[in-house]
Amino acid sequence: MFGAGFLGRARFFASDASAATQGGSKPPAPPPAGSAGGEGGGGGQSGKSEQADAGKAVRGGPVSWLSFLLLLVTGGGIIVYYDKEKKRHIEELKNRTSAVKPGQSVGTAAIGGPFKLLNHDGKPVTEKDFMGKWTLFYFGFTHCPDICPDELQKMAAAIDKIKEKAKLDVVPVFITVDPERDTVEQVRDYVKEFHPDLIGLTGTTDEVRQVARAYRVYYMKTEEEGSDYLVDHSIVMYLMNPEMKFVKFYGKNYDTDSLADGIIKEIKEHK
C-alpha cells in the first residue's frame, strides 16, 4: 500500500520535471548572489518559487490523505483477519481434541498425570483414587468473586442432569490454585456450598504447581499487597475416563445443558 503511494508521488514529480525541460527550453539560471535580497528580478523569482511550492503542497495534500485513509482501511482489515484466524485456530483445536479417542496420541503433550494432594477432609489423595470413575476436574480458588462460583454451579447442575438423563455417575472435583489461602478447612467450607458430591483438593505450593502443570493449567497471582489478591487462571473443566486418561475439556462457553449432553456423549462412545 505504501509502495503505491510513494510511486504515485514519484510519477507526479517526474512529470513536473519533464514538462519543465520539454521544447528545448532550459531551466532558469539562478539569480545573482547580490539580487537575492533585492526588490527587482530577484523578488519576482522568489514569488514564482513560492507559488510553485504552494501549488505542489496543495496538489500533494490529497495524496497524503488518501494514503492515510488506505492505511486505516488496510489496518482494520488486518485486525479483523487475524481475529478470525485466531477464532478458527481455537475451533480447530477443540475439534481436534474432541476427535481424539482415549489412548490415542496426536503428537501433543499429554494432559493429566500423577499427583498427591489433600482432600477437604484432610486425607491424602492421588490420581489412583479416581481410577474406575468418570471424573470432571475444575481448577480455581475459593476467594474467586464470580467466575469460579458460576463454573462450579454449572458443574453441579450438569452432574445432576447426567445422572437424571442417563443414569451415569461423574465425580466432580475442585482443585485450588491458591494453596496459600485455601487450607483444608477453607476448601471444605467452600465445596459444600455447591454439591454434596463435590470433592475439594488442596496441597502445598509445590504439589499444586505439579498438578496444574500436569493438566496444563495456567494460573498467576495478581500483584497486590496483603492477603486480598486475585488469581488469574484457566477456565476449563477436564473430563477424565476411568483409566484417568484425558478425554475432553470444556470451556466457559458451555452452558449446563451442553456440558451435560457432551459428557453423556463421550461416556457412551467410550463404552
Domain 116-270 belongs to what topology? Glutaredoxin (3.40.30)
Q: Please check whether residue 147 is in contact with residue 235, taking contact to mean a CB–CB distance below 8 angstroms.
A: yes
What is d(CA 47, CA 50) in angstroms, rounded to the nearest whole number? 5
Confidence label for 62 from pLDDT (cuts 50, 70 and 90): low
How many residues can be counted in the chain?
Answer: 271
| Residue predicted with more confidence, 260 or 54 | 260
Confidence label for 262 from pLDDT (cuts 50, 70 and 90): very high
Q: Please check whether residue 118 is in contact with residue 124, taking contact to mean a CB–CB distance below 8 angstroms.
A: yes
Task: Please report where in the chains the cell 486475585 appears, as a residue.
Answer: 230
- Across the range 203-220, mean pLDDT stands at 97
Domain boundaries, the chain: 116-270
76 is written with which cell numbers? Answer: 482494520
Confidence label for 40 from pLDDT (cuts 50, 70 and 90): very low
Annotated ligand binding at 195? The verdict is no
Annotated ligand binding at 148? The verdict is yes
Which residues are paired to 246 by β-bridges?
240
pLDDT per residue over 134-188, tens digit each? 999 999 999 999 999 999 999 999 999 999 999 999 999 999 999 999 999 999 9
Confidence label for 102 from pLDDT (cuts 50, 70 and 90): very low
